[in-house]
A and B are shown apart, each in its own frame.
Chain A
Amino acid sequence: MTVGPITAPRSRAGPVRYRGGRGWWAAAGIALLPALIPPVSLIIQVLGGGAALAVPSARLIELFANTLLLTSAVTLTAVAIGLATAWVTTRVDLPFRKGWMTLAALPLVVPSYVAALSLIAATGASGVLFEIPTPYGFAGAWLVLSVFTAPLVHLTIIPGLRAIDPATEEAATGLGAGRWRVFMTVTLPQLKPALVSSGLLVGLYTVSDFGAVSLLRFDTFTRAIYTLYRGQLDRRPSATLSLILMALAVVILVLERRYRSRATLHSRRPRRARPLLTLRSWQRGISLSMLATYAVVTLGIPILVMTTAVVRGLGVGQSVGSLGNEAVRSLSVAFLAAGATALVAFPVAMVTTRKPGRLSGWVESVVWGTYALPHITVGVAAVGFALQWARPLYQTLIFLIIIYVAIFLPQAVGSAQDSLRRASPDLEDASRGLGRGPMATLMRITLPLAVPGLLAGGALVFMSVMKELPATLLLRPNGFETLAIRIWSSTAEGFLTRASAAGLVLLVVSIVPLFLVMSRELSD
């Protein structure tokens, strides 16, 4: 998509922007309803039943410290990895560049419990790959969560990297700056908003993760919350703890907003294609081996571990079972949820980028606060909501998709915001000034500007839904077994062959839609 040069004179007589603002707020308000279900339901539960803390305060402080430590370590590492894979696959003239770009996004589809199981199977006394002690505790959780959440960064900043005006970098190069200096002083500052929102995606995902921290034995808030849900029928302690966790997420968000840069990112120059960098052969070698290492660690090891289990099982007469229906269900529900989330994300991204202020701050808090909740909390809260207020929706596919939207909205909002920040609002003013109606401006100017971000966000949501377990388990219609559910139930019952086969199918069927998105909109 290209945007033509703007020739209309800018009139600055008064604020003419967004007379359609009320419409955007209304749309954003409706879009926000799904995300409000879990927190409102939790608050009602705690207010109605009374707050109850089954956790002693010393333990609460320990959980708090552990959660913050893991969150910050994982965020920094994942941002570094994701920035590297995104830059190399967007900017450098590598063989099979689009293939690498897709591969670097794919680890997101590996459920964190599969990732952790792979690490455990690959290491230890009888490890498939390395006979080193399995890194339990902080090290293991940090490692697994960092490498497997890096695609959140990779996919979020690719549209940003491509939208940077080549002129700024060329000017710096022309003034004698080396490639590294250009990257640090010109490219990186322009990526800052995208890096911050992808950092939030990683950080708050880490807060909500259960699979990796439980299998690798690192105590976080979320692990404590799951333990309460499992061992107690009284829901108040887990609801109370979940609200504390949500408050923590909102605090992180408020801090982020206070220090958020207000830099203007949009350029009024026409966008043009940028030639790919040609690296020296040793630099190409390093780039390729870096990508290959990442692919081997995140995809190769799980595939090897799962294939080993399938081959061993088939050898002793186990069967893999039929997985076709599960694959179709997973793909179709993930596709619908990704589309719905992208649609809903658009007005939310509009009001939060074009109308910054207290109200849009609240909008962001709700959206991101829900994202940080453990999915079991969201699931239980949603069950409570549906039973009390929306009985016809209970255990229906529509409600399941609504809750997916509630959970994963930030993944689409983050990258849509970045796309919109890069598009000058002057374009929309110009369109209105030239006599286009608000609808035509929306369809012909605003929406196309947001499309790359919405698409990247949709891809993130797609992969996240493919692997989602706790909320799916509680909210799906009877008999709606997905691949993720199959992996979980087979693992729990000790059917290793079937669990591994389902894991392999999950990876394979995710590649195709992902590759299509990547090659259509995300690469040149």
Chain B
Amino acid sequence: MRRLISLVLVGGLALAACGGSDAEGPLVVYSGRGEELVSPLIERFEAESGITLDVRYAGSNELAATLLAEGDETEADVFFAQDPASLGAVVELMSQLPQETLALVDPKFQDRAGRWIGTSGRVRVFIDNTADDTPLPATIDEVTDSAWAGQLGVAPTNGSFLAFVAAMILERGEDGTRQWLEALAATDPVDFEGNSPIVAATDSGEVAGGLVNHYYLLRLRAEGLGQNAENYFIPAGDVGSLVMPAGVGVLAATERPEAAQEFVEFLLSEETQAFFATDTFEFPVIAGVPQPEGVPPLSEINAPDIDLSGLADVLDVATRLVAEAGLV
């Protein structure tokens, strides 16, 4: 019996020792970006830095909610997310990034207090089926024209659509956004689960067009499809061409701030930025890196001027308005 007790004690001590040596364990990254996109980067970072990473993949919103639930006790060191809204939801848990890091990227694509920074740009587009000759919308308001009635694909429950609605609230206020959503609902749009299916349905002719992010079409073309669809960047300078960066932040509770910082710098290195342009078709956020093929350069896209730091604050309002307009 005594031997048994001592065994248990030794086991417990060993476990406690493991628990105490957190600083030597892997760097924990919560990634709202898919493993398909991120794992080549992870491998390269581990090889170059000698730091082992432990990555948790899930949706950006789920991870933001998980971080809020975990609070200061989180084991995550870094949060790498798909959109500014999920990053904004957890800014209270993140520490400020160093000035020299923030200086690398246009202030438009970072938190106003420097707690997260954009890593690659994604643009909202109107995806169009090229086989029909419906005139393309010149503004985001023309999307609700009767020409598109019953023919427009939207993903009202998807994170990027909700972030787009949140941006519209920042641009034209709650009432203006409600009017736009009601006009959209009046055209009886076809609702989808996400961006990918909208692009596929536009390509197949099931719908005439839809509101999505720009890289899904390029992804579909890499799979040998997508010849009947084209990205169209709404030219009016409204939220129809919103640039929404994916981004990264370091958790304040981390015990390994240097390693976390090294990972952030790695994401902003020229090599990684070039990877985003060629492999995920996203816009690089640092100067001097070539643009992705098949899309106009970021400078030619007439993007609206929106304070992305404010998105998270109005995300709940956006969800409510979308529901009240009868879109979900």
**Which residues from chain A sit less than 8 Å from chain B, CB to CB?**
54-55, 120, 124-126, 134, 214-215, 217, 224, 226-235, 309, 312-313, 315-316, 318, 321, 380, 383-384, 387, 391, 473-474, 478-479, 481, 485-486, 489-498
A233 to B315, CA, bound (A): 9
Which 8 pairs show the lowest CB-CB distances between chains A and B? A231-B319, A494-B219, A126-B204, A316-B224, A493-B34, A478-B56, A489-B34, A494-B196
| Residue pair A54, B323 in contact (C-beta under 8 Å) | yes
| Residue pair B316, A232 in contact (C-beta under 8 Å) | yes
Q: In the complex, how many angstroms separate the beta carbon of B11 from the nearest chain A beta carbon?
A: 13
A160 to B10, CA, bound (A): 50
| Residue pair A498, B36 in contact (C-beta under 8 Å) | yes
A489 to B57, CA, bound (A): 9
Q: In the complex, how many angstroms separate the beta carbon of A81 from the nearest chain B beta carbon?
A: 27
| Residue pair B36, A493 in contact (C-beta under 8 Å) | yes
| Residue pair B58, A474 in contact (C-beta under 8 Å) | yes
A496 to B159, CA, bound (A): 21
A479 to B39, CA, bound (A): 11
Which B residues between 263 and 297 are near A, CB-CB below 8 angstroms? none
Asked if B252 lies at the interface with its beta carbon under 8 angstroms from chain A, I say no
Q: Which residues of A contact B159 (CB under 8 A)?
A: 230-231
| Residue pair A316, B223 in contact (C-beta under 8 Å) | yes
Which B residues between 125 and 166 are near A, CB-CB below 8 angstroms? 157-159, 162
If the complex has contacts A387-B70, A491-B196, are A231 and B162 also in contact, measured as CB distance less than 8 A? yes
| Residue pair B34, A478 in contact (C-beta under 8 Å) | no
Q: In the complex, how many angstroms separate the beta carbon of B187 from the nearest chain A beta carbon?
A: 16
| Residue pair B34, A231 in contact (C-beta under 8 Å) | no
Q: Which residues of B contact A321 (CB under 8 A)?
A: 36
| Residue pair A227, B157 in contact (C-beta under 8 Å) | yes
Asked if B250 lies at the interface with its beta carbon under 8 angstroms from chain A, I say no
Mask: chain B, 15-27; 1 = CB below 8 Å from A; 0 = not: 0000000000000
Q: Which residues of A contact B66 (CB under 8 A)?
A: 383, 474
A474 to B34, CA, bound (A): 15
Asked if B320 lies at the interface with its beta carbon under 8 angstroms from chain A, I say yes
Mask: chain B, 225-259; 1 = CB below 8 Å from A; 0 = not: 10000000000000000000000000000000000
Q: Which residues of B contact A230 (CB under 8 A)?
A: 59, 61, 157-159, 162
Asked if B222 lies at the interface with its beta carbon under 8 angstroms from chain A, I say yes
A79 to B55, CA, bound (A): 43
Asked if B220 lies at the interface with its beta carbon under 8 angstroms from chain A, I say yes
Q: Which residues of A contact B13 (CB under 8 A)?
A: none
Which B residues between 17 and 75 are near A, CB-CB below 8 angstroms? 28, 34-37, 54-59, 61-62, 64-66, 68-70, 73
Q: In the complex, how many angstroms separate the beta carbon of A391 from the nearest chain B beta carbon?
A: 7
Q: Which residues of B contact A492 (CB under 8 A)?
A: 34, 59, 194, 196
| Residue pair B37, A493 in contact (C-beta under 8 Å) | yes
| Residue pair B223, A481 in contact (C-beta under 8 Å) | no
| Residue pair B205, A125 in contact (C-beta under 8 Å) | yes
- Which B residue's beta carbon lies closest to that of A476? B56
- Which A residue's beta carbon lies closest to that of B89? A233
Number of A-B contacts (CB under 8 A): 124
| Residue pair B36, A490 in contact (C-beta under 8 Å) | yes
A232 to B318, CA, bound (A): 9
- Which B residue's beta carbon lies closest to that of A315? B224
A380 to B58, CA, bound (A): 13
If the complex has contacts A125-B205, A312-B223, are A485 and B62 also in contact, measured as CB distance less than 8 A? no
A230 to B70, CA, bound (A): 18
Asked if B174 lies at the interface with its beta carbon under 8 angstroms from chain A, I say no
A478 to B27, CA, bound (A): 11
Q: Which residues of B contact A491 (CB under 8 A)?
A: 196
Asked if B308 lies at the interface with its beta carbon under 8 angstroms from chain A, I say no
Q: Which residues of B contact A55 (CB under 8 A)?
A: 323
A486 to B57, CA, bound (A): 10
Q: List 12 A-B contacts (CB under 8 A).
A: A125-B204, A229-B61, A231-B159, A232-B319, A234-B316, A309-B223, A321-B36, A485-B57, A491-B196, A493-B37, A494-B216, A495-B34
| Residue pair A233, B316 in contact (C-beta under 8 Å) | yes
Q: In the complex, how many angstroms separate the beta carbon of A31 from the nearest chain B beta carbon?
A: 25
13 more A-B residue pairs beyond the given contacts A215-B197, A230-B158, with a C-beta to C-beta distance below 8 A: A224-B328, A227-B157, A231-B315, A233-B64, A316-B222, A318-B223, A387-B69, A387-B73, A479-B54, A489-B57, A490-B36, A493-B219, A495-B36
Q: Which residues of B contact A234 (CB under 8 A)?
A: 316
A171 to B160, CA, bound (A): 67
Q: Which residues of B contact A495 (CB under 8 A)?
A: 34, 36, 219, 223
| Residue pair B316, A124 in contact (C-beta under 8 Å) | no
Contact of B35 among A224, A226, A227, A481 (CB under 8 A): A481
- Which A residue's beta carbon lies closest to that of B26? A478
A125 to B62, CA, bound (A): 35
A380 to B205, CA, bound (A): 38
If the complex has contacts A227-B328, A478-B28, are A124 and B58 also in contact, measured as CB distance less than 8 A? no
Q: In the complex, how many angstroms separate the beta carbon of B3 from the nearest chain A beta carbon?
A: 25
A318 to B199, CA, bound (A): 19
Q: Which residues of B contact A380 (CB under 8 A)?
A: 65
Q: Which residues of A contact B223 (CB under 8 A)?
A: 309, 312-313, 316, 318, 494-497
A27 to B288, CA, bound (A): 67
Asked if B307 lies at the interface with its beta carbon under 8 angstroms from chain A, I say no
A230 to B249, CA, bound (A): 21
| Residue pair A384, B54 in contact (C-beta under 8 Å) | no
A384 to B194, CA, bound (A): 28
A479 to B54, CA, bound (A): 7
Asked if B106 lies at the interface with its beta carbon under 8 angstroms from chain A, I say no
A489 to B63, CA, bound (A): 14
